Amino acid sequence: MENIPDGLGETFVAVDLSGSMDSSLSKNSTLARKEIGSLFGAILAERGARVGGLGDDFQTVPMHVDAPVLQRQDALLGIDEEVGHSTNGWRVLRYLREEAIAVDRIVVFTDMQIWDSRVRFSDDANTIREEFVEYREAVAPEASLYMIDLASYGDLVTPDGYEDVYNISGWSENVLEFIEHAEEPGQVIDEIDGFDPF
């Protein structure tokens, strides 16, 4: 908690609570993917981030920063049955657009198995890409989107190289530091240039 960057307050965190997120991170782990996502959401709430969970539907979870971090994690995991077990990730962005909630960044913890369960394989399906474009046009033109892939199946729901969209495969506490540096690339270059190995 002490190592959380200070500049992540204007962040919205969405955690995929779909059925596939019940899988463990690896054959050597007992942690489910949704536990990791919800823990990071609870940690970022410490710096003022808003947090919600997605499945068939999407729901925000109020988090009081005085509550212990594991209690905040449990609150997010507690809406699992309420949101359902599909992966309608586009609902997060539509919610932010319809409520006119401007944030600097949206962080989605998922296994990238995201599609519109209402109209599968149809031209009428909603997508994260389209909803992100509409959100930026209507509410927050400078917003960034971070897709944290906790499964590394190799799927992408946003195009590679798409402006202000970062697809991150895997996780560690360094993900938060990456987010801070991704938005200030000059800062990283200055740190590298200033490095003195002697």
Q: What domains, with CATH codes, occur in the chain?
A: 7-193 (3.40.50.410)
CA dist., res. 152 & res. 132, Å (int): 22
- Work out the pLDDT band at 122, boundaries 50, 70, 90: very low
Q: pLDDT value at position 135?
A: 92
CA dist., res. 124 & res. 163, Å (int): 24
pLDDT in tens, 56-93: 889 899 888 888 889 999 998 988 888 887 878 888 99
- Work out the pLDDT band at 125, boundaries 50, 70, 90: low
Tell me which of 190 and 149 has the higher pLDDT. 149
- Which whole number is the average pLDDT over 96-120? 80
Tell me which of 113 and 167 has the higher pLDDT. 167
pLDDT in tens, 161-196: 567 888 878 777 777 777 777 777 666 667 677 777
- Which whole number is the average pLDDT over 19-43? 83
Mean of the per-residue pLDDT values of the chain? 80
Share of the chain above pLDDT 70, in %: 81
Who contacts 31 (Cβ-Cβ below 8 Å, separation ≥6)?
24, 25
The residue ranges of DSSP E strands in the chain, in sequence order, are 11-16, 50-54, 58-60, 105-110, 144-149, 165-169
Q: pLDDT value at position 99?
A: 95
- Work out the pLDDT band at 197, boundaries 50, 70, 90: confident
